[in-house]
Amino acid sequence: MLAEPSFVLKSWFGGRTIMLHGKHHLFLTTQGEPWQGVLVCTMHEHQPSLRAEFPALAPHPILKKWLYLPETADSFERDAKRLVQLVRANDPRLGIAPSPKKQRAKKKFRFGDKL
């Protein structure tokens, strides 16, 4: 993936997100259960086919919009490698666009205000 010009590995919510083609694909986290493994960034309509292919995947218990591959799964390494292969192949079931950045209100300064 490193040779792909759109590849970004970014710190995100205490973990690392793998971005490709401007989308979040996988979120890697080691914060303890239920945040110890790989979250698969996908839309709900793609979850059944991914779960059929990867039986260890389940909806994340807190962030239910994404699937979760716990590090404790017997198939963790094999499944994680296969998920990376699917990301590299630009599998349409994987990836979500980031939320648009919110505009911060500009603070107005008046004469005499301390900066």
CA 65, CA 73: separation in Å to the nearest integer? Answer: 20
Torsion angle, alpha carbons of 75, 76, 81, 83, to 10: 90
Kindly report, residue by residue over 32-54, the tens digit of the pLDDT: 888 899 999 999 999 999 999 99
Among 22, 24, 21, 72, CA closest to 80: 72
Mean pLDDT of the region 85-106: 84
pTM of the model: 0.79
Judge whether residue 111 has pLDDT over 70.
Answer: no
Contact present, 9 and 21 (Cβ < 8 Å) = no
Selected residue with higher pLDDT from 24 and 111: 24
What is the chain's mean pLDDT, rounded? Answer: 87
Contact present, 67 and 41 (Cβ < 8 Å) = no
**H helix intervals, 1-115:** 47-53, 76-88
pLDDT category of residue 107 using cuts at 50, 70 and 90: low
Token code pair at residue 75: 């198939």
